[in-house]
Every structure is written in C-alpha cells, then in structure tokens.
Amino acid sequence: MSDDGQSSVPDAELRIAVAFTGGLSLAVWMGGVARELNLLTTAARADASGTPAGLVRARYKRLLDLLRLDVSVDVLSGTSAGGINAALLGLATVRGCDLGGLRSLWLDEGGLGTLLRDLDEPRPPSLLRGEERLLRGLETGLKTVFDDQVKGLDREKGLDREKGLDGEKGLDGEKGLDTGGDATPGLAPSPRSDSDPDPTQVFITTTFLGGMPHPFRDDYGSTVHDRDHRGLFRFTADALRRRETIGALARAARSSASYPVAFEPTFIPVGEPTHRRPDMSPHLVRPPATQFCADGGLLANRPIGPALQAVFDRPATRQVRRVLAYVVPSADGAAEPTVPPPLPDDVPSLGPVLLKVFGVVTSQSISAELSALAAHNERVRSRLRAETRLARMAVRGADLGDEELRQEHRGKHIRSLARAVAEETLGQMIACGAGPDDRPVGFGPDLDRLTAGAVTVIESAAPPPEALPEGAAVFDALARFGRPLLDGGKATVLRLLRESAAQAPADIRTALEEQVGKVHAAMPQRSAPDLRGAVRPVVEAVLGRVPPDDDPVGTVIRSPGWGDAITGQLPAAGELPALADAWRTMAGAVLDTRRLFPGDGRGENDQDAEWPVLLAYLVGDRTGVRPEGEPGDPPAPDAVARRLFDLLAAQRVIFPDEQAARQRVELIQMSADTRTLLDDRQTAAQKLTGLQLHHFGAFFKRSWRANDWMWGRLDGAGWLVHVLLSPQRLKQLADEGVPVGKRLREIAGTDAPRGVLTAGPGGEPAELAFLTADVAPGLPASLPQTSMWVALGLQRLIAAEELPCVAEQAEADQKAGGALAAADFLQRFRRRYPDPRQPVDPDTVDEFLRACRISEETFRREKDSRLLKHTVSHAAVVTANAVRATVDRWSWRLLFGGVSRALRLAHAVRRRI
C-alpha cells in the first residue's frame, strides 16, 4: 500500500527482450545499460538497503509501485562483445544476482595493457590473449555473479516468473488472486502457472570457421553445395541455474567476442569434452562438427533475429506488454555529416578500403528483422479477428465442428510432432556427415521418410482419438492432444475473461479474477522432453555400425530407440488426468462468465464487442434462440469444451504454419544518442570514448571505461523510464483516482519542468494534460519530457555512485602515465570530496558531471603520454612477432625478427623512463 492509500500490488506486466549489438569497447557502455536492467528487474523483490544499489532499486520500486507493474527480462541475445553482457545479465536474471561486479570486470579485464600478449611469445596467433586472459576473466566474473544473490530474491526455491510460473497474470495482463502457498518477498502470492517452465533464454552468436554443410538439389537434380557459417548458442534458464554451465557460457561469450586479429579463434568441442574444454553441443541450436569459431559480429552483428524468434515462439497464453530493446550505442550513420560525392581520382588507399569493407561486413541491415516484427504484430491482430469471425459465423448458424475438419486437425497435430523429431534427427545426421555412396544425408526424400516413419510410430502408440466421444469422456480425449491444444484453449479462455472484465463493475471484475486464478492454477507443470538428448544416442549408435553404402536413414527409422524418442513427445499416462482436469476448469470458467453476464453474449451484429461473440459461441447461444435477458438452461461443461476444441481446430487448419500469435511486440532502440536534464551532452560522440580507434578506444584507459560505463547507466535509466511510462497505463491509473502527478514528482525529486504539467516554453500543450482532460483527443505515443523529468531522480543517484569511481580511475591513469586532461574535474571533485570513501550527495552531482569531460579526451591529446607510448610499443612488438610467424620466406622472417627485437628493446627502454 502506498503512502496515499493506493494499492501497490502489481496488476500488469511488462516483459523485455534485450538484443545487445557488437561494438568492441562500446560493450562497456552496454554493460552500464545491463546494470540498470538488473536493478530494475530486482527492485520489487529485493530487501531494502542503504547501499548505492539499494537506493537506486528503491527509486525504481517506487515507480513500479505507482504503475502497479511487474517487469521481467526473459529473452537476451548478444553478439561480439555484446554477447558478454547478454551472458552476464542472463545469469544474473535467472539466479536473482547482483550485476554490480560487471563494472570491475570491464575495468580490470578490458584494458589493452592487460590483454596484450607477452613480448617473448614467438608465434602469437593474435594480438590479445583470448584463452589465457579474456576467457579466464569471464569465468571469474560469471562465478562472482553466480554467488552474489540479491538479498530477498531466493532463486533456489524458484521465483514464479523465472520458472515460467506466470500464472499471477489475470485481466489486462493482471495478476490473479492469492491462492496461498509460499510467497516471494515483495510480491503477492500467485497461482502456479504452466505455460513457460523455462522462459529465460540467452542467445549468443558466433561464426563457424569450418561451417556446416547445407547441400540441396536444384530442379534438374544437380547438387548445390553450400556451407552455413552462422552459429548460435542458446542457454535456457534451467542450464543457467547450474554452476557447471559457467564454463560453457564463458566459452560461448568468448567465441562471440573473438574479433579477428585482435583475439585468436575459439575452439568449440562438439560431442564430448576434450582438452579441458566442455562439450558445447547441448547449447548449440544447430551443432556442427568440432571446429574453431570467430567473432559473432562477422555475420550477425545485429542480433535482433534470435530475440524476435524467441519472443514469437513463446506460448501466447495471456495478454502482456512485450518490448524488444535494441541496445546499440550509436546507430550507423546517425550523425554522419553531408559530404560531396567523390571524384574519379579520389581512389581511397588500401588501408581505408580494408577497414571500410570490414565495416560493411559487420554492419548488416536490420530491415529483415524489423519487417518480421511488423508482420508478427499484424498476425496478432489478424488472428484475434479471425477467431472472433469464426465464433460469429457459428453463432449465426455455421457448423465449425464437422468430422472432416476434426480429422484434418488431428492429422496436422500428429504430423507436427513427427516433423519435429524428423528435423532433429536429420540435423544430427547431417552434422555427422552420414550418407551412402558419397550422397550426404538430406537429399531427396530423407526428411519425408523420417517424418512418415515418425507418424507411423505415433499412430501405433497412443495418439489422439479420431473422433471426440460424447459426454464427459471428451475431456479425456482432449487430454491426449497434450499441451499445444491446451495452451491454445487457455489463451482463448483468458482472452474472454480479460476482455469481459475490462469495463465490468468491481464485483464482477473480482469474480472474473478468481476465474483467472483457477484457470492458471489448474494447468499442470509442463514436461519438457529432451528431444536432442533422446535422438543423439540413436544417431551415434547407427552411424557407428552402419557401413557407408547402407541406408542410415532406414536404419534409424527401424531403431527401437528412435521410436522411444518419438513417443516421448506424447503425453504420458500419468499426465492425462491433470490435462483433463485443466479442460474441465476452463469449461467451468466459461460457464461462470455466462452466469455473470446473463443475456449479454449473443454477438448479434458486427458492431458488438468481441468477447460477447466468443461467449455466445462457447455456451451455444444462437441468434434468436432465446429472448434477450433470459439466461436459459446452461450447457453441459463437455459441450463447452467441444466447442472450444472446434474453434481451435478451425484456426489450426486455416493457419497451419503459424502459431497462435497473441502478443504484439514494441521495438525501442536504446542508444547513447539521448538527452538528460543532468547534462547538455546529447550524442554518443559527445559522451563515449569507445567510439575512437574503430571502437577499440575505451580499452586504452581505465577512466575511459569508467566514463562509458557511467553513461551507459545514465542513458539506460532514461530509456527504461521512457518504456515504463506508458500513456495508456498512466491514464488508467488517473481514472482510478491515483494522484499520478504527485507520485511522479516524489520519484523525480524535483518540480516538473515546463511542458510536463504546464504549457511548454513555446506554448505547446502540457505533456500530461491528457490525465485530467474530460475528453482526450487521443493518447500520445510516448512521454519524452516526462520521462527525462522522472529519470532525473534515478540519474542523480547513479551519478553519485559512479563519479567517485571515474575520479579514482582517472587518478590511476595519471599515475600510469596518461595525459592530465581530467585534472580540472579531479581538482573540483577532490576539493568537495577529499575522502574517496565519503558518500557523494546526489544533489551536488550536476556540477561534477558537467565538469567531467573525460569523454572529450582523444588519442591525439594522448600522443605524448607515457601510457600511450608504452601501449603502442608493446602492441608493435606483438604485431611483429605475429607477422614473422606467419610469413614463409626466410628473408621476411629475418626482417621481421629484427624488427621485433628492435621494438622489444625500445619498449624496455620506455618502461624504465
């Protein structure tokens, strides 16, 4: 309960998927954004604390309490150095850990002086130490995060959200009622849900140097040979909870950050551990043969695709707000000046051409992913409209449930299960290079043969019935379709409950919330058979004993173990009673909704709301059957379940290749090109040092990394507040009597600037005027001015925590021989805070942040510094050693050997100066 008597129990949810791009040292800025995501998602459940992190969490919690919002991060993807941040944030999210140690990881392990190879290494495979230093630092950092759980978050028992127990949601994405059981600190108890036993996923891209064979045939029977070099690691929440996964997670992040020349390629064992390296096949989406990997940004530097696909693949069992955060420090070409076209004689030299070509390779367009996002959102709208139209047709007399439709649905259901097994089997056989007479597996009818074989196994086991029985036996029959059909039915029933409660009186709304809780609680825990683990020993056994000229596909089909893997996709006998009970509960929820709305569910014309049409169909009301206002005799629960099945079957037949999309996805680009009321810098170029030296810049000095980390947190907080302050949500709260303006002022810590609650400087309307308007012309798309104001309170706390670190690192750089560009800032800061342990007053940070101009330091200003000369000479020696080891002719080796020795001598002299 808030101070003004308003309830603060969350009744809405925001799910955030995060895509971290590549960017080399710009990953330090992205790490700051990851830190803010970590603080936001742990704010509601963490114990109160007076630490700097605790104060920031408390401010986030006040905002979440106002919005009555539950926030989670459940899908993360990363490429290149962004994969490191995705791995660490994913682990912290699943384990409920504090990510504050990520700053020290970047400060200590992200320096060129630390990463550069030893001068005496005769044949260096790269300039920087990947296995010896980066990988070991990642393992240490991941272990630190793994053990640093936030007080108040008990992930060992399992939080509802992180285990996919998202049954707390009810109406409009709202939580159901308290059903008892153990409560998580800071959260109202919620019913156990079924839909996502393992929702949190981390995707990390890489580039296979050897690739995977991907042959196919053209229309004339000729073989087209192709190789796919795109690699993708996937870590589930179940894997991230286990300490033994840390080694594989660190190796995946290291492989994605293996920038050519800078770091050596990463060895990825597939099949079994080798040479003290873990087997990576359980975490690869498509396992290749054992090989080396390079930077994930070479072929996928914009990892939106994996995040989008994971979002689309999640079961749509309820309506929640879904946001995809595209984290990119600075968009390509965002601030490029206009230049005149080149002349024919302006041919660029070799060096700039190579750099430009490499930049083109790693700066892929994201238009395809954005088109997929738009298409997905359109499918959401069209599927909901289609469901309503089918129900309306049935209300008007059409028959959805004929036997032909049911038979077609059953066939598609069985074939989808069979196809999943067939594709997994074929993928593993292709990876192993199986095939007779030099013909790789995958040509011709191999996939069709495997699919047909799997269908035969399912039909001979315990498939769904060909016809639905009459009476109560229909529930047992529906249970044999397993979870896919049950999830679809649950999505439709929750849609009915949510939409019918939107404008309902309080007593009816409460009753519908109870039904939501019952539906969620009735769902059995989803079983997740390990299809890859079941198929793998079968394929290995077959390929190990079948001669090359035999038929490996046929042998696999005849293998008893393969049949066991197929039947494992069907619901087990022990699961059927719980599945049947879930169908009974959903039918009961529909009947209780009819009781709450007597005579209001017939859907007589196209202008009716959609939920009455659904209700009229499910309970069997036809237009003109009964007078308005007379409820009539309620139908039997089995009749409701049968109609629900017919509606789902019709949609499956009409949209055979699409999942039942129910959630729209909003896209927001989180970059450093953003404003804050604390400082006048507005672009990444004005804030970040990591943009220098082709994005290697922040690796040079500790203070540069501390600066970029601080700005990552400041910018991240601003963007997160921008996402949280939904105009629709604020309007809903204001209509309920919540003093939104007053509560926002308490969070911001200062009065609102002009343009938020009052007219702007140019006479433009107040941004929050819609909260009090009797008739609003329409809600704004976003609230940029309000967001900057509200974020100010958070950003002052962040700056108070980070400025002492920036000052400490600047002093360390000066001692190491760096230029004294930060002297003015240090003088001011130490005059006010001479003791490094003295807490910084957040009300004083404005002056010091504006004085902190480390972002203006450049390599040109460092050209005479001892630190730069030392770093350059060290890098030159390593480069000469690497080139000498690469060339073949003895004369070139002699030349570069002499260069190496001369540079090594010069470096030793400089170190003594």
Within the chain, what is the greatest distance between any pair of CA atoms? 101
How many CB atoms lie under 10 A from the CB of residue 281? Answer: 21
Backbone angles phi, psi at 293, to 5 degrees: -125, 150
* Structure confidence at residue 361 (pLDDT): 57
At position 524, the amino acid (one-letter code) is: P
- CA 286/CA 642 separation, integer angstroms: 39
DSSP run (H or E) holding 844: none
- As given in the structure block, the two tokens for residue 45 are 């459940």
Residue 258: active-site member? no
* Structure confidence at residue 331 (pLDDT): 66
Antiparallel, parallel or unpaired: β 69-78 and 12-20: parallel
Backbone angles phi, psi at 714, to 5 degrees: -60, -45
Catalytic residue among 295, 487, 638, 679: 295
By the 10 Å C-beta count (0-12 exposed, 13-18 middle, 19+ buried), 860 is classed as: exposed
* Structure confidence at residue 156 (pLDDT): 42
Sign of the CA dihedral with 218 first, then 222, 228, and 234 last: positive
DSSP run (H or E) holding 235: strand 227-236
How many CB atoms lie under 10 A from the CB of residue 826? Answer: 19
- Distance from the first to the final alpha carbon of the chain: 65
Catalytic residue among 8, 25, 72, 80: 80
- CA 381/CA 484 separation, integer angstroms: 21
Q: How far is CA 621 from CA 143, 617, 626, in A?
A: 60, 6, 8
Residue 606: active-site member? no
* Structure confidence at residue 177 (pLDDT): 29
Low-confidence ranges of the chain (pLDDT < 50): 155-198, 316-318, 333-335, 601-607, 624-630, 660, 889-907, 909-913
Antiparallel, parallel or unpaired: β 12-20 and 266-268: unpaired
Q: What is the dihedral of CA 836, 837, 840, 841, to 10 degrees?
A: -140
The beta-strand segments (E) located in 96-222 are 201-213, 216-217
Contacts of 869 (CB under 8 A, 6+ apart): 910
* Structure confidence at residue 773 (pLDDT): 72
Q: Which residue has the tokens 């660190």?
A: 250
Q: Are 46 and 173 a contacting pair, CB within 8 Å?
A: no
Backbone angles phi, psi at 798, to 5 degrees: -65, -45
- CA 96/CA 109 separation, integer angstroms: 24
* Structure confidence at residue 585 (pLDDT): 94
Q: What is the dihedral of CA 106, 683, 89, 197, to 10 degrees?
A: -170
DSSP run (H or E) holding 297: none
* Structure confidence at residue 731 (pLDDT): 87
- As given in the structure block, the two tokens for residue 670 are 């989180």
* Structure confidence at residue 603 (pLDDT): 39
- Segment 545-593, tens digit of pLDDT: 656 556 788 888 888 888 888 888 888 888 899 999 999 999 999 999 9
Q: Are 83 and 296 a contacting pair, CB within 8 Å?
A: yes
